[in-house]
Structure 1
């Protein structure tokens, strides 16, 4: 988890002003990339979906971050958010299917940047619980979007959505079972499963992948995710009984 990034105030403005400015820069970047790749965002409905996704991410940042400027690690995560918003926007009217390689390329860059922001956080000593949560929520959203794309492209069935909604179900269960909402220890297994989920879904979505193999890849992502959440749930349960 990232250590708290302490921003030195430059002016007597509220800390959130800096955050709002950086979010606005991200929105301009989204507009720029959408204009550079009009195949992904060809119509107003696509723009609306992309900016709705970005607005929800921005709202999360404003609610959870109050330390002023985001810092370089979180700025890279914000760049990931812009790319995830592009992935979301292209899902309108199934436009992504017409430019599947470009769409997968954007999603792959968003996945690769997941390792970059962590490296920058370590180099700049800017770790924070917010940064870890920001990463996690973007991963969850990207996985959900890829699941929706896979259902539309390969018609595998709604069971694929279990991959995308399992984290949200886990969070919802924590509202009822308080022990499920307790902090988890850092886990390489959790990170590995997350990377495999996205990788398996990306591979399943490529036009070169046979539908049967795509279903196997999706099934492997679901099985590994269920195992990971099962291990975490069991650990949290044991901790609650002590």
Structure 2
């Protein structure tokens, strides 16, 4: 059973990577037919997208045994969409014009599917910490890509929205308390969902730049507040644990 499960996981991630390479190539060539030099633009775009789908594939394959649940397959579809957005963003930056409309469509689809994989996991009884991490990492990649796509119109400061999640992860390497799980809070989920929504709004053609910039600015401030509060709470939980253990020692 473990062998068949592992083989199926390999097939699933291979299909996802192949789907991205095919779709990403077609999208970039179609959106930037006159990019110069086209081969360099395409190579950089596919490298960026491959980083996204590669991380998702690694998350599935490094499980013991490798396992891809129905919910994970939905998340892999999301990862393919995010990877395509990443490819278009990099190609657009190199070509001097980011195709906000296409990225908004793909990003919105990936954003809406975020409500599907969790339900599938609960319905099939396959919810797991590994699946949750894959989902969260895909969310983080989506926000990073969208923040990069909007940087050309709203300013490079929007990259801070996408980088904040990774800065928090990096801080966990130096502060182990930041790697501890947090109690679930609805406010955190709402703020997390607002980030891609605000960035997608800024990418939609026809949306006034002032409105898009305002939405991104609110998203930035809310995210900073959310991460700051989480850091304070995790440090408080660590102090409480130390205070509990100290008398026993």
TM-score (norm: length of structure 2): 0.83
Given that 2:60 and 2:67 are in contact with CA atoms closer than 8 Å, whether structure 1 keeps it comes out as: no
**1:27-46 mapped onto 2 (5 Å cutoff):** 27-34=17-24, 37=27, 38-39=29-30, 44-45=42-43, 46=45
Structure 1 unaligned runs (5+)? 1-8
**Structure 2 partner of 1:125:** 125
Say if 1:91 and 1:35 are closer, same or farther in 2 by CA, change over 3 A.
closer
**Distance in structure 2 (CA, Å) of the matches to 1:232 and 1:132:** 18
CA distance in 2, matches of 1:83, 1:41: 18
1:54 pairs with 2:58: no
Higher relative contact order (CA 8 A, sep 6+): 1
Which of the two has greater helix per residue? 2
Using the alignment, how far apart are the partners of 1:236 and 1:162 within structure 2?
22
Specify the alignment match of 1:93 in structure 2. 91
Does 1:112 find its partner at 2:112?
yes
With over 3 angstroms needed to count, the CA separation of the structure-2 counterparts of 1:41 and 1:143, relative to structure 1, is: farther
Partner of 1:13: 3
Q: Partner residue of 2:198? A: 200
Displacement after TM superposition at 1:20 (Å): 1.8
Using the alignment, how far apart are the partners of 1:237 and 1:55 within structure 2? 33
- The counterpart of 1:172, out of the listed 170, 173, 176, is 170
- Whole-Å Cα distance in 1 between the matches of residues 51 and 170 of structure 2? 22
Residue 149 (structure 2) pairs with residue 149 (structure 1): yes
Q: Which residue of the partner structure matches residue 5 of structure 1?
A: none
* In 1: Cα distance, 2:156 partner to 2:98 partner: 22
Q: Match for 2:212 among 211, 214, 223?
A: 214
> 1:212 deviation in Å?
2.0
Gaps of 5+ in 2: 241-249
- Alpha carbons of 1:40 and 1:182: their partners in 2 closer, same or farther (altered >3 Å)? farther
Aligned to 1:241: 239
TM-score (norm 1): 0.85
Residues 34, 41 of structure 1: 8 Å contact kept: no
CA RMSD of aligned residues (A): 2.2
Aligned-pair distance for 1:105?
A: 0.6
Bigger mean CA offset, 89-98 vs 163-172: 89-98
3-state DSSP of counterpart to 2:68: coil
Measure how far apart 1:116 and its partner are: 0.4
